[in-house]
């Protein structure tokens, strides 16, 4: 009797698991088209994000392509020590942090402001026109954006310099002057990405209860007060999540944009970790060293995301996990 009683819970557990599998399989069959839609994205992340992580081990090796990962000599933290003792390390760190600070202080608030302003537009046709106009630059590659800037700003026939001369000024070499690199960089980022980034905030604003605005109107609140006391608090959690994700990209500014603006005259302010990895890794063939730089960037990003998420939770926000 005792044996039978002891086996009963185990049998119930097996039955429960079988029923759970059947329900899961049934849901998969019912929503098969939804899962087929996300399958390409999953395959992309698997092939290009997770599988390549195996290559991180070469940061701890003196990697030789003809020997492969398994045959290369292990050198421990040699490349990390070299990175932190290189004279260029603090220059790269400073340039990267300055550009990130510009992104955070100038670019990050712009999409929020655009979303708030677009939300106040009552003429639907004009609103759609403005949205389309500010979205279009996102679909241009950085090559096109930088090329347009070159055509406008070049000393030889550039529209901006011609206007400066027309009004009695002297031509400015925007592209070869290191003082203009950072303003050009952040203005290009704003022009290309600000409109696209407003989509998330506009979507969050649509979820705000219209009755809140009606109640505020009855209390005598104007549009500015409604924006400050209703709209902004309603999208605060979205802003915090995007801010945390932005902080995770502190050392990840993107290679293509900066590389296209980089030249011999502005290298002191334009060289960042992304361009340095390209130069050291691909041009000079220092695969292990450049991988160590990449691992350092990823580690810093992970730590900052965790700290920012923890800080957000202390202030009562949900965070990203």
Classify residue 41: in a domain, yes or no.
no
Q: Helix %, strand %, coil % for the chain, to 5?
A: 80, 0, 20
Q: Is residue 233 part of a domain?
A: yes
Per-residue pLDDT at 260: 92
Three-state DSSP at 276 gives: helix
The average confidence (pLDDT) of the chain is 87
Nearest Cα to Cα of residue 275 among 295, 293, 292: 293
Helix then strand count (H, E) for the chain reads 18, 2
Q: What CATH number does the domain containing 216 carry?
A: 1.10.3720.10
Yes or no: say if 83 and 293 are a contact pair by the CB < 8 Å rule.
Answer: yes
Q: Does 9 map to a domain?
A: no
Residue 264 forms part of a structural domain: yes
Compute CA distances 302 → 50, 86, 248, 316, whole Å.
16, 23, 6, 21
pLDDT at 206: 87
**What's the total number of domains in the chain?**
1
User: How many whole angstroms from its chain centre is CA 183?
Assistant: 20
- What pLDDT is recorded for position 12? 58
Rounded CA separation 200/191 (Å)? 17
Q: What pLDDT sits at residue 280?
A: 82
Q: Three-state DSSP class for 73? A: strand
Q: Please give the model's pTM, rounded to 2 decimal places.
A: 0.82
For residue 1, the model assigns a pLDDT of 47
Residues of the chain with confidence (pLDDT) below 70: 1-16
Residue 304 lies in a domain: yes
What is the pLDDT, as a whole number, of residue 18? Answer: 75
Q: Is residue 31 part of a domain?
A: no
Residue 261 in any domain: the answer is: yes
Structural domain span for residue 88: 84-314
Q: Looking at residue 228, what is its pLDDT?
A: 87
In this structure, is the dihedral angle defined by the CA atoms of residues 167, 170, 176 and 177, taken in order, positive or negative?
A: negative
pLDDT digit string (tens) for 73-128? 999 899 999 999 988 899 999 999 999 999 999 999 999 999 999 988 888 899 89
pLDDT of residue 304: 87
Strand partners, 61: 74
Q: Would you say 208 and 231 are in contact if contact means Cβ atoms under 8 Å apart? A: yes
In a domain, 37, yes or no: no
């Amino acid at each position: 009797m005792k044996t039978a009683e002891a086996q009963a819970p185990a049998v119930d557990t097996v039955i429960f698991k079988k029923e759970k599998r059947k329900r899961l399989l049934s849901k998969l069959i019912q929503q098969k088209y939804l899962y087929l839609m996300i399958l390409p994205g999953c395959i992309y992340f698997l092939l290009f994000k997770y599988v390549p992580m195996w290559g991180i081990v070469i940061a701890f090796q003196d990697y030789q392509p003809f020997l492969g990962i398994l045959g290369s000599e292990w050198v421990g933290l040699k490349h990390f020590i070299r990175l932190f003792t290189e004279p260029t390390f603090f220059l790269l760190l400073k340039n990267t942090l300055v550009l990130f600070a510009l992104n955070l202080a100038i670019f990050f608030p712009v999409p929020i402001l655009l979303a708030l302003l677009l939300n106040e537009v009552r003429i639907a046709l004009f609103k759609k026109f403005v949205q389309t106009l500010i979205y279009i630059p996102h679909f241009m590659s950085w090559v096109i954006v930088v090329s347009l800037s070159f055509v406008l700003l070049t000393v030889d026939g550039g529209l901006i310099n011609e206007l400066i001369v027309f009004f009695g000024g002297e031509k400015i070499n925007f592209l070869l002057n290191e003082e203009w690199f950072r303003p050009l960089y952040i203005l290009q980022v704003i022009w290309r990405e600000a409109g696209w980034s407003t989509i998330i905030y506009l979507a969050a604003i649509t979820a705000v209860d219209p009755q809140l605005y009606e109640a505020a109107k009855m209390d005598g609140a104007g549009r500015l007060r409604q924006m400050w006391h209703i709209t902004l608090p309603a999208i605060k959690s979205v802003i915090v999540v995007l801010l945390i994700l932005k902080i995770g990209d502190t050392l990840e500014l993107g290679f293509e944009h900066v590389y296209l603006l980089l030249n011999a005259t502005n290298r002191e302010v334009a060289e960042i970790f992304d361009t340095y990895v390209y130069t050291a890794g691909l041009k000079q063939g220092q695969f292990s060293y450049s991988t160590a730089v990449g691992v350092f960037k990823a580690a810093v990003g992970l730590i900052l995301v965790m700290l920012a998420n923890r800080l957000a939770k202390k202030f009562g926000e949900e965070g990203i996990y």
